[in-house]
C-alpha cells in the first residue's frame, strides 16, 4: 500500500460533488435553494440542452457583497450558520457551505451579483481549480449564477448523463417541487430559448392548479390543522380519483421537499380505508415544525429528514389527514364532478360550499323526515346534501342543495352507512342483534356447519345467532339489526367462508373492515328499489352524519355535486 496523502483541494471538491451534483437537475436545485435563502421574490431559470450545456438561475434577492464573492465559491464557507446551535435550528435551505464549491469543481461557473449596499454589480468566474478575479458588472439587485458544461473536466461522470429530454425532465421535476414549495415567489422556466413555464406569485391553490393541473385542484380537499408548534396545510386528494401511480405526492417540511418514511406512512394509513386496491392518493402538503424538532443534516442532498419526535409527527399528520379526507359529508367540501372544460380556464379554487352548518340546522328536519309528505323547503336552508327531488332509474337520488344538484348513488351510500354502523357497534362490543320471528333456515355444507359451531361466540359478536337444524342445515334465529331484512343466507355463507379462510382472530382484526364491508353489501338498498321521498331524505341525513360517507366501502364516490355554475356551463349559459 502506498503512503497516506492529503488530497488536493480540487479532488476533495470533486468527491463532494459526487454526492450533491448528480446531474443538471441537482445543480438547479442547489441554485434555486440559494435564491430562496436570499429572499428572492422572482426567479428565472434558463436551461440549455436539458441543463447539460447550461443551468442558469437569476434572482432579485439580497445579493452578494463584492468581498464575499470569492468566499461564496470556497468550500465550507457559508453566510447561513455559525455555530452548532445554528445548525440544530437551521431554517434556511442551505447550511453546508459546499454547493457552489462542488459545482465549480466540475463545471464552468459564473456569479454576477449586486447587493443593496453596492453602487453596481460584480462578477466572478471559476472553472475547476481555477478562480478568476472579481470584475465589475452592470446589473440590478440580485444574483445570477450560471453553470456551463457540467462535468467538462470529469468525462467519466459526463458519460452517465442521459439524453437532453431526460435531463430536462429531471430539471422540470425540481422546478415543480420548488414552485410548489413557495407559491408566493414568481418563477419562470426557459428551455432552449422557449418559455416552458411562467408562474406569478399566487395562493397555494392556484399554484397547485398551475403546476399539477386543474383536475388535481378540483379533486382535492383543502386541509388546515394545527397542534402546538405543528401545522399542516395544503391539499389532500379526495379518494375517488386516486391513481395507480404515486406521482402526485408532495410533502414539504418547512418549505423543503422531502421523502420521508414517517410522513409517507401516515399518509398511507390515512387513506387506507378509502382507497381501492393499489391506488395511490394524491396530495400536496406542507408541514411546519419548529426547526429544532427536525434534523435536515442527514444527507448532503437534504431530501431526508429526521424528526426528533417522529411519533407525535406521525400521529398529528395521520389525524389531520384522516379528518380531511374522511369527514362525514356534513363537514366536507365537495368532490366536484369533472365537467369537460369548455375553452376558457374556469374559476380558481371553487369556493367551498357553505357546508359547515351546525348540525342543529337540519336536526329538526331529520325528526320531521319520519313523517310523510315533507314539503320541499327553499334551497337556501337546505342541509349539505340537500333535499331529495326524485329517484333516477332506481339507482340514483337527485337532491337539491344550495349550490345546485346533488347526485347520490343510493346503494353505495347506504352500504357505507351500514358498514360504519357495524364498525361502531363492534367497537362497542358486539353488533346489535334482532331476533327473528321466524328463523331463517337454509342449506349449507357440512364444513359450514362445523365452522359455525366452532365460531359460535364470534358469530354472536357479529350479530348472528343460530341453531344447527340438521347435518346440512342452519337456522338463523337472530341477525344483525341493520341486516335483518337482507339476504340472510348469503350473508351467513359469506361470513362463514371468511371465518374458515382466515380464522376468527384475523377476521375480527386485520380483516375486520373487509368482513364488515362484505356484510354491509347484503343489507344495502338494492338498485331498483323504489324509495319514498321521506326515505331518500333520511338516507341523505344519515350520510351527513356518517364518517367517510363520501366514498363507498370499495373506495368509489357515493355522491357528486353539480353546481349551478357547472350546469350553466353544460348549457353554455351566460356567455
Using CB under 6 A as the criterion, which residues of the chain lie in contact with ligand ATP when the complex forms?
A: 30, 34-35, 38, 59, 61-64, 72, 78-80, 94-101, 143
Our finding on whether 144 is near Mg ion (CB under 5 A) is no
Angle, helices 204-212/164-181, rounded to nearest 10 degrees: 170
Our finding on whether 146 is near Mg ion (CB under 5 A) is no
Phi, psi of 242 (to 5 degrees): -55, 150
Separation of CA 161 from chain center: 32
Nearer to ligand ATP, 101 or 405 (CB): 101
Per DSSP, what are the bridge partners of residue 475? 441, 467
Our finding on whether 40 is near Mg ion (CB under 5 A) is no
CA distance 44 to 190: 8
Please identify which residue in the block is written with the cell numbers 334482532: 434
Minimum CB separation of residue 62 from ligand ATP in Å reads 6
Q: Which partner from the list ligand ATP, Mg ion, none does 280 bind, CB cut-off 5 to 8 Å by kind?
A: none
> Is-contact 122 113, C-beta < 8 A?
yes
Q: Which partner from the list Mg ion, ligand ATP, none does 78 bind, CB cut-off 5 to 8 Å by kind?
A: ligand ATP
Nearer to ligand ATP, 21 or 449 (CB): 21
Our finding on whether 50 is near Mg ion (CB under 5 A) is no
**Residue of minimal Cβ distance to ligand ATP:** 94
Nearer to ligand ATP, 131 or 398 (CB): 131
Rg value, the chain, Cα: 31
The beta strand positions in 336-495, using DSSP E, are: 387-392, 396-401, 404-409, 433-443, 465-470, 473-480
Nearer to ligand ATP, 77 or 440 (CB): 77
How far CA 454 is from CA of 426, 496, 518, 526, in Å, comes to: 20, 10, 21, 32
Element counts in the chain: helices (H) and strands (E): 19, 23
Separation of CA 150 from chain center: 35
Stretch that binds Mg ion, among 31-39, 175-183, 256-264, 371-379 (CB under 5 A): 31-39
Q: Which partner from the list ligand ATP, Mg ion, none does 115 bind, CB cut-off 5 to 8 Å by kind?
A: none
Minimum CB separation of residue 92 from ligand ATP in Å reads 7
Minimum CB separation of residue 70 from Mg ion in Å reads 16
Nearer to ligand ATP, 63 or 386 (CB): 63
> Is-contact 105 129, C-beta < 8 A?
yes
Minimum CB separation of residue 57 from ligand ATP in Å reads 7
Interface characters, 93-112, with Mg ion (x: CB under 5 A): -x----x-------------
Please identify which residue in the block is written with the cell numbers 470584475: 135
CA distance 450 to 443: 13
Minimum CB separation of residue 101 from ligand ATP in Å reads 6
Nearer to ligand ATP, 74 or 173 (CB): 74
Amino acid at each position: 500500500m502506498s503512503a497516506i496523502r492529503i488530497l488536493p483541494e480540487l479532488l476533495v471538491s470533486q468527491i463532494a460533488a459526487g454526492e450533491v451534483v448528480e446531474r443538471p437537475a441537482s445543480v438547479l436545485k442547489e441554485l434555486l435553494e440559494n435564491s430562496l435563502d436570499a429572499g428572492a421574490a422572482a426567479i428565472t431559470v434558463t436551461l440549455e440542452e436539458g441543463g447539460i450545456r447550461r443551468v442558469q438561475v437569476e434572482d432579485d434577492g439580497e445579493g452578494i457583497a463584492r468581498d464575499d464573492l470569492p468566499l461564496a465559491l470556497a468550500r465550507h464557507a457559508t453566510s447561513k450558520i455559525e455555530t452548532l446551535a445554528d445548525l440544530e435550528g437551521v431554517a434556511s435551505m442551505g447550511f453546508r457551505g459546499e454547493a457552489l464549491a462542488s459545482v465549480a469543481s466540475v463545471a464552468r461557473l459564473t456569479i454576477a451579483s449586486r447587493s443593496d449596499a453596492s453602487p453596481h454589480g460584480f462578477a466572478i468566474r471559476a472553472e475547476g481549480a481555477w478562480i478568476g478575479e472579481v470584475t465589475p458588472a452592470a446589473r440590478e439587485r440580485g444574483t445570477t449564477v450560471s453553470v456551463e458544461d457540467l462535468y467538462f473536466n470529469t468525462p467519466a461522470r459526463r458519460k452517465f448523463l442521459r439524453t437532453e429530454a431526460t435531463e430536462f425532465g429531471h430539471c422540470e421535476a425540481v422546478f415543480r417541487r420548488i414552485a410548489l414549495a413557495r407559491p408566493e415567489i414568481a418563477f419562470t422556466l426557459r428551455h432552449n430559448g422557449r418559455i416552458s413555464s411562467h408562474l406569478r406569485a399566487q395562493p397555494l391553490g392556484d399554484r397547485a392548479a398551475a403546476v399539477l393541473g386543474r383536475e388535481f385542484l378540483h379533486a382535492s380537499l383543502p386541509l388546515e390543522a394545527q397542534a402546538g408548534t405543528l401545522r399542516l396545510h395544503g391539499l389532500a386528494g379526495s379518494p375517488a380519483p386516486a391513481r395507480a401511480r404515486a406521482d402526485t405526492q408532495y410533502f414539504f417540511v418547512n418549505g423543503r421537499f422531502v421523502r420521508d418514511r414517517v410522513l409517507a406512512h401516515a399518509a398511507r394509513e390515512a387513506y387506507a380505508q378509502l382507497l381501492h386496491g393499489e391506488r395511490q392518493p394524491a396530495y400536496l402538503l406542507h408541514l411546519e415544525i419548529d426547526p429544532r424538532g427536525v434534523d435536515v443534516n442527514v444527507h448532503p442532498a437534504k431530501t431526508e429528514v429526521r424528526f426528533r419526535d417522529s411519533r407525535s409527527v406521525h400521529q398529528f399528520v395521520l389525524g389531520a389527514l384522516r379528518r380531511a379526507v374522511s369527514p362525514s359529508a356534513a363537514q366536507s367540501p365537495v368532490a366536484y364532478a369533472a365537467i369537460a372544460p369548455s375553452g376558457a380556464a374556469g374559476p380558481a379554487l371553487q369556493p367551498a360550499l357553505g357546508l359547515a352548518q351546525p348540525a342543529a340546522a337540519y336536526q329538526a328536519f331529520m325528526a320531521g323526515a319520519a313523517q310523510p309528505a315533507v314539503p320541499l323547503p327553499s334551497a337556501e336552508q337546505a342541509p349539505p346534501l340537500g333535499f331529495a327531488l326524485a329517484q333516477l332509474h332506481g339507482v340514483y337520488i337527485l337532491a337539491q342543495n344550495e349550490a345546485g344538484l346533488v347526485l347520490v348513488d343510493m346503494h353505495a351510500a347506504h352500504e357505507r352507512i351500514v358498514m360504519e354502523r357495524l364498525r361502531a357497534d363492534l367497537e362497542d362490543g358486539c353488533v346489535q342483534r334482532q331476533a327473528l320471528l321466524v328463523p331463517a333456515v337454509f342449506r349449507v355444507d357440512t364444513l359450514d356447519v362445523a365452522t359455525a359451531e366452532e365460531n359460535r361466540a364470534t358469530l354472536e359478536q357479529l350479530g348472528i345467532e343460530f341453531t344447527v337444524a340438521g347435518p346440512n342445515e342452519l337456522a338463523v334465529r337472530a341477525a344483525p339489526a341493520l341486516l335483518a331484512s337482507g339476504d340472510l343466507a348469503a350473508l351467513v355463507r359469506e361470513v362463514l367462508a371468511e371465518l374458515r379462510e382466515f380464522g376468527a382472530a384475523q377476521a375480527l382484526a386485520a380483516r375486520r373492515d373487509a368482513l364488515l364491508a362484505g356484510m354491509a353489501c347484503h343489507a344495502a338498498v338494492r338498485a331498483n328499489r323504489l324509495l319514498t321521498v321521506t326515505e331518500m331524505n333520511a338516507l341523505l341525513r344519515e350520510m351527513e352524519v356518517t364518517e367517510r360517507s363520501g366514498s363507498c366501502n370499495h373506495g368509489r364516490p357515493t355522491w357528486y355535486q353539480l353546481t349551478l355554475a357547472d350546469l350553466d356551463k353544460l348549457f353554455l349559459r351566460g356567455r
